[in-house]
Amino acid sequence: MEPIRIGVIGVANRGGYFVREFHQNVPDAEVVAGMDVVDGNLQRFRDIVGPDAFVTKHYRALAARPGVDAVVVASPDNFHEEQGLAVLEAGKHLLLEKPMAITVEGCDRLLQAHNRAGVVFGLGLSMRYMPMFAVMKDIIDSGEIGDVKAYWCNHFVGKGGHFYFHDWHAVRANTMGLLLQKGTHDIDIMHYLTGRFATKVSAFGSLDYYGGDKPDDLHCPHCPEKDTCPEAQLGDWEPHFQLCAFRREVDVEDNHVLIMELEDGIKAAYQECHFTPDYHRDHIVIGTKGRLCNNEQDWTVTVKTRQNHGLSDSVHTLHPTEGGHGGGDVLLCRDFIGAIRANRPLRNDPYSARMAVAVGVAAHESLRDGGKIVPVEPPAA
C-alpha cells in the first residue's frame, strides 16, 4: 500500500512539529512538499525530509500539486481560513492547525467547503489525544463523579513572552486575541470532557505586563537592555521571533478571566495568565458524586468521591510521553492518516473546533465591552 503523501503549508514552528512527526513517527505517511515564505525554513524542511521534496512560496501551488494527497496548514492564524479553503477546494484532505479561523464566519465558510469537498478534515487540537485527558474522559463517562455541574481551568502560561509576545501572536489582526489563540485548546477540552458546548460567556481581561512604548522594530539582540530584561529573547532565533515584548504594537490581552454556562447548566471558568513563573494547566471537574483534577507536573489524575460521609481518593499515574503536547501530536497525526484510510472523522471534528472558536470570539467581544454577557451561537442550519 502506498503511503499517504503529505504537503505542509508553513513548515516552521508548529508546522515543523507536523513535518517531523509525519516524517519520523507515522509509517503510513510520506512528507513530499512544503510551502513557506522564508528561505531558511524551506531549507531546514528539505534537510529533514530530503532534497527531492517539492518546495514553494505559494500556498495555492502546493494545494493544487499533483501527487499530494493531504495538506497540513500550520501558518499564522489569520491565514487559516484562506489557505484551508484552498486545500478543500482542491479536493485534498486537510489537517488545519488550531484555531480553525479567527472569526466565526470564517469557520462556517470552512464547514461549508468541507461539506462540498467530501474529504477528511481534522484540526490541530492535540490535547484531545493526550493520555491524561483520555483518562479524565473515561472517568467522567463512567459516571464515577456523577453528573458534571462545575468545571474550572487555570492556565499558567509561564513562558507567555517566550511564545506569544515576541512575534505575530501579540497583534489582534493576526489572532483576534489569546483567549482564542491559546485558549482554544482548553475551551475545546472543556467541551470534549463534558460533552457539552458553551451557550453564553462573560469575560474580563487586560494587557497588564507586556506591551509598552518600545519601537515596533526593536529586536532583543540589538536592545541596550538585553542583559537585564527578564523577557529578552536571545540565542538561535529567527529575527521575526525576537521582537521586543514591550513594543507599541502589542494589543492583545495577557491576563484573562472567562466564565461560561455550558449546555445543561454546567458552570465553567477559565483563567489564562501569560506572565506567571510556572507553565502548566489545571483542569478541575466537579460532579454530583465527586471531583476530578489533573496535575501536569507529576502526570497524575486524582478522583475524590464521597463514601460513607468520608472522602475516598484514587490516583491514576501516567508515564510521560514523548512528543509535543504530551504525546498528543503524534497520535493526532496517526489518527489523521487512519481517518483517510477508513474515510471516517477524526476525534477532533470541525464542528467542535468551530464551537471553540465561537467561544473565544464571544469572550473577546465581552471583555472588550465591559464584561457583557455574549451568547455563543451555533452554525445556521
Cell of 343: 474515510
User: Residue 216: pLDDT above 70?
Assistant: yes
State the Cα–Cα distance between residues 13 and 167, nearest whole angstrom: 12
* Domain contains 338: no
Angle, helices 131-142 vs 184-194, to 10°: value is: 30
Q: Which parts of 143-183 fold into alpha helices (H)?
A: 160, 172-175, 178-181
Residue 136 near residue 285 (C-beta atoms within 8 A):
yes
What are 336-380's pLDDT values in tens digits?
999 999 999 999 999 999 999 999 999 999 999 999 999 999 998
**Residue whose cell numbers read 479561523:** 101
- Say which amino acid occupies 138: D
Question: d(Cα 299, Cα 325) in Å, to the nearest integer?
Answer: 13
Output phi, psi for 243, to 5 deg.
Answer: -65, 145
- Residue 40 sits in the same domain as residue 135: no
Q: How many other C-beta atoms lie within 10 A of the C-beta of residue 322?
A: 9
CB 42 within 8 Å of CB 36: yes
**Residue 235 domain-assigned?**
no
Evaluate whether 346 touches 122 at the Cβ level (below 8 Å): yes
Is 274 inside a domain boundary? yes
Verify that 158 and 51 share a domain, yes or no: no
Rounded Cα distance, 21 and 13, in Å: 13
118 and 15 fall within a common domain? yes
Domain membership flag for residue 278: yes
Helix/strand/coil (H, E, C) string of 312-363? EEEEEECCCCCCCHHHHHHHHHHHHHHHHHHCCCCCCCHHHHHHHHHHHHHH
Q: For 370, left (φ over 0), alpha (ψ -120 to 50), or beta? A: left
Instruction: For residues 37 and 18, give the distance between their C-alpha atoms in angstroms, rounded to a whole number.
Output: 17
Predicted pLDDT at 309? 61
- Same domain as 164, residue 89: no
In this structure, the answer to whether residues 38 and 108 fall within a common structural domain is yes
Residues 9-47 have pLDDT tens digits of 999 989 999 999 999 999 999 999 999 999 999 999 999
- Per the structure, the count of domains in the chain is 2
Best CA proximity match to 231, nearest among 213, 252, 253, 209: 209
Q: Give the residue with greater pLDDT, 188 vs 318.
A: 188
Rounded percentage of the chain residues whose pLDDT exceeds 90: 87
Q: Show which of 70, 90, 125 is a domain's final residue.
A: 125
Instruction: Assign residue 18 the CATH number of its domain.
Output: 3.40.50.720
pLDDT in tens, 142-158: 999 999 999 999 999 98
> Within 13 Å and on the Cβ side, how many CA atoms surround 364?
25
Mean pLDDT calculated for residue range 247-276: 97
Of 63 and 309, which is predicted with more confidence? 63
End-to-end CA gap in the chain: 40
Give SS3 for 366. helix
**Prediction pTM value:** 0.95
Q: Residue 277's domain is classified under what CATH number? A: 3.30.360.10
Classified as helix, coil or strand, 128 is: helix
Say if strands 4-9 and 29-35 run parallel, antiparallel, or are unpaired. parallel
Q: Is residue 73 situated within a structural domain?
A: yes
The H or E element that residue 23 is part of is helix 14-25
How far is the C-alpha of 50 from the C-alpha of 43, rounded, in Å? Answer: 10
Which residue is listed with cell 513557506?
36
Which domain range does residue 11 map to? 4-125
Q: In the prediction, which pLDDT does 297 show?
A: 86
Q: Which of 60, 58, 70 is nearest to 28 (CA)?
A: 70
